[in-house]
Structure 1
Amino acid sequence: MAELLTWLAKQLVDDPDAVRVETIEREDATVLELYVAPEDRGKVIGRQGRLARALRTSVRVGRVGKPHGVDGSFFVEGASEAPERFAKGATLLVDGLPAQIAASKRGAGGRPVIKLDRSVPRGATLAVRRDDLPEPGEDTYYVFQLVGLRVEEEGGRALGTVTEVQNGPANDTVELDSGLLLPLVEACVLDVDLEAKRIVVARGFADADE
């Protein structure tokens, strides 16, 4: 994915030699930081937002893990919880390029083990097109839909912006850029408005995290 981002950015800037991408591995996500020459900073999100749209058309579902056997199969690390993502015949984007799953099974611990129709490097990002994702159920959201939403307390007090969604044994939590952690439970979350890019939470939960 870093190579794809680098290539896309170089098509938009006037100083392609200054383009640099750094990869930051988190427990449940891979973050790519893009650096360009100062005079090109507006261009990577300009020109009708071509780069932004290209990056937002896919959703990460895992990455290529350690080999399994000698036939080219491998474990999927950080795998999506949706098993159909790794079914035989399904198509994944590997660092942005399509590859079809030729074989699929479960390995140790129930982790997905797949073989693709071409060789791929360990650590490569596995993704699917957002348009291929099914609509989530009522009051259910994909992580990418929540990241970036503003969070307000009932009454209008701004609390921050969602930067990450963490899985927990009892419930998931959203992490805000202000450092707050808020539980994704009915008592806390009063409204999620994707069009307004806003989450409204009940009073008291933000203060309890201090």
Structure 2
Amino acid sequence: MPIGRVGRPHGLDGAFVVEHASDDDRRWQVGASLHVDGAPATIEVSRRVGSGRRAIRLDRPVERGAELTVERSELPSPEPDTYYAFQLVGLVVVDEGRDPLGRVIAVHPGAANDNLELEDGRLVPLIEDAVRSVDLEGRTIVVDRGFLG
């Protein structure tokens, strides 16, 4: 699972700013393991820099733009009725009459709420009134058709 991307260098000690850094501070602790473009690495230095951004140094050199990831198995279980975005991508969206509306191709963050993007480009706001239920095992999301954008 992506947790950030190698950004510009920060300081003279080999650290870099993490772009699109995960908000989970446990990911950035000294000694934490992660993957850089699929290869394992360990965090040696971690600090907050301007505007609260995260800067880290790893146990090996990395290229700017490289993706920082962790294994899905390392993610904590979400709270009840909450989901990771990756869990929703690919699910079939149906209306309350079970008529198919399409598959989720992306989850977009928003200022007020996130939105599910269906394969035809329509958006469904991730709010309680619009999303009636999510069944991960059944691979379906039931929505109120009136909220399709």
Q: TM-score, structure 2 length as denominator? A: 0.96
Shift of 1:177: 0.8
Q: 1:131 aligns with which of 73, 76, 81?
A: 73
Pairing partner for 1:160 from 76, 93, 102: 102
Report how many residues are paired.
149
CA contact (8 A) 1:143 1:165 kept: yes
**1:91-102 alignment runs, 5 A limit:** 91-102=33-44
- Partner of residue 149, structure 1: 91
Of 98, 116, 136, which aligns to 1:174?
A: 116
If each structure's strand is expressed as a fraction of its own residues, which one has the higher value? 2
- Which structure 1 residue ranges, 4+ long, deviate > 3 Å from structure 2? none
> Which position in structure 1 is the counterpart of 2:4?
62
Structure 1 residues 98-130: Cα deviation after superposition (integer angstroms, max 9, x where no partner): 101001111122111111111111111100011
CA distance in 2 between counterparts of 1:161 and 1:137 reads 24
User: What is the deviation of 1:203?
Assistant: 3.0
Counterpart in the other structure of 2:137: 195
**Counterparts of 2:87 and 2:101, CA distance in 1:** 18
Report the 3-state secondary structure (helix = DSSP H, G, I; strand = E; otherwise coil) of the residue aligned with 2:70.
Answer: strand
Quote the Cα distance in structure 1 between the aligned partners of 2:21 and 2:90: 22
Gap regions ≥5 residues in structure 2: none
In the TM superposition, residue 81 of structure 1 has moved relative to its aligned partner by 2.1
Give 1:1-210 correspondences, 5 Å limit: 59-206=1-148, 209=149
Q: CA RMSD in A?
A: 1.0
User: Taking every aligned residue pair, what percent have the same amino acid on both sides?
Assistant: 54
SS for the counterpart of 1:204 is: helix
Q: Which moved more, 1:182-191 or 1:81-90?
A: 81-90
Higher helix share: 1
Partner Cα distance (1:108, 1:84) in 2? 20
* Separation (CA, whole Å) in 2 of partners of 1:139 and 1:112: 29
C-alpha distance in 1, partners of 2:94/2:70?
31
Structure 1 gap ranges (5+): 1-58
